[in-house]
Structure formats: structure tokens, C-alpha cells
Structure 1
């Protein structure tokens, strides 16, 4: 695993986000993710920008997306904000601002979250540059 000194340049603010990809999701994996994150981290679910209760299933969220946009804001340790937009049935994609990762402690909190996701879902978790699944910064598998 990389240390902060080796990786801090990857979090320089450049106007783009950083993405976390979890490939190989299914409806059951999504449901595990939704319920576990809701029970483990402070979360806010938004429908067209208005805070609502988080549905307990991926299919319910996809139903909402037929007529509205959704976003799940997850606050992980250290105040890092991670967003989930429920784009794909087969891939969980999260994003975060690189400015939230400013020091060793922030980086360790991000790593801890990625390890938690991997242990929860038993899938590879990859941190990349925005919209660049092939531009890996950090991988947990």
C-alpha cells in the first residue's frame, strides 16, 4: 500500500474529482452497500436536491431515477464527503473532492473506507481520476 508522501500529488486540486469504482456489482451487492453504508456512516439522500429518506433497496432508488435525480452523500471519518449517484447496475461509482484529502490522516481515513468497502462487498475497490477507471491511483483487492 502506498503512503501519503508517495501519493499526495494525486490529490492536488485540479478542478476534477476522484472516483472510487467497485466493479462486479449486482442488485444484491447494491442492497448490501446501501444498508451497510446507511448503518455505518452519516448519510443524506437527495432527490432533485431535496433531502429524503434513503430507500432500503437499489430497485427503489432506480425507480425514483425514472423521474428525478438522486445523490447519496456519505460522510466518512475526518469529514470526507463521498457521493454516490447510482449510475450503473453493475458498478458502484463514488466520487470525492481531492481537496478533502489534504494530509496523512485524511488519506488513512480514505484507505480505511476503501478497505471497509472491500471487506463488505468482497470486490475490488479502485480509486481513480475522474471518469478514468483505467487511471488507477490506489487499489484494494
Structure 2
């Protein structure tokens, strides 16, 4: 594929993010995903301790994540680089692993290929479909990339 077409079709700049989803996720999927991220990427994990103080760690702490699922008052997040592209994960729901990134950060075919390798790795580890979509995917949105 020609990089210009990929950039235009997938990483177009319209002010929105691109989302990566693993739908119908389980606690076991989350554990596998967290282990994979902690083992393969430099992580910045932000959460709040029992006193409400913001904490930052270099690994995603599953025990802390499990305290925050379905608690929208305090969002916690992790960020990590895939090549030069910063991916963020907010731990909103057990049943959906979501990462997002700014499409403008994908500037070369090599960066695109690293994103594809990340999607393939997650799909293989979880044995699930991984999709890249425009921001705030719902059933009516188009899937930009599907890996299964």
C-alpha cells in the first residue's frame, strides 16, 4: 500500500482521536493485556491512593485498576509509546479494552507498521478481534482496521 493512501484513509486529521478496541473483554483479557504492556513498553500509570493523592508508577498495577472499573468519578490511565506514537488507556470498563492516540503522530509507514504489529500482538495474546476506529466507536461506525 502507498503511505499517502494509508495516511488519508486511516490517519486523517479531523481533530479527533483514533481508538483501538478489544470488545467483550474479560478480567483475564485485562490481566494478559496488562502483563504484555508491562513487559514490552515503558509505561506511565496514574492512579489515586486511598487518601486521594495522585500516584505515578512505571508499571500498570492490576489491583489498582480493578478498584476503578465502572467508577467514572476518578479516571485512571496508562500511557506508553508504540514507536513514536503515544497510546493512552483509561480503565473505564471491564468489558472493553480501549486505547486511543492522535492520528497526526503516525507520520511514516514504519510507524503505521508498528501500530499494526501492536494490534496483531494483542489479537494473538487475547485470541480476539482488535479494531481501529474513529473516536468513540459504536456499531454504526466504520472499522478502519480489523485484526483477528
Q: What interval of TM-score do these two structures reach, taking the shorter chain for normalisation?
A: 0.7 to 0.9
- In the TM superposition, structure 1's runs of 4+ consecutive aligned residues that sit over 6 Å from their partners are none
Tell me how far 1:4 sits from its aligned partner. 3.3
- Output the CA distance in 2 between the equivalents of 1:14 and 1:83: 19
Q: Is structure 2 residue 142 aligned with structure 1 residue 135?
A: yes
Which residue does the alignment assign to 2:33?
33
Tell me how far 1:47 sits from its aligned partner. 2.1
TM-score of the aligned structures, taking structure 1 as reference length = 0.86
**Larger helix percent:** 1
Q: CA RMSD in A?
A: 2.1
**Larger strand percent:** 1
Tell me how far 1:7 sits from its aligned partner. 2.1
Q: Which has the larger radius of gyration?
A: 2
Gaps of 5+ in 1: none
TM-score of the aligned structures, taking structure 2 as reference length = 0.82
Q: Is structure 2 residue 7 aligned with structure 1 residue 8?
A: yes
How many aligned positions are there? 138
- Counterpart of 1:11 in 2: which secondary structure? coil
- Output the CA distance in 2 between the equivalents of 1:17 and 1:55: 23
- Output the CA distance in 2 between the equivalents of 1:82 and 1:138: 16
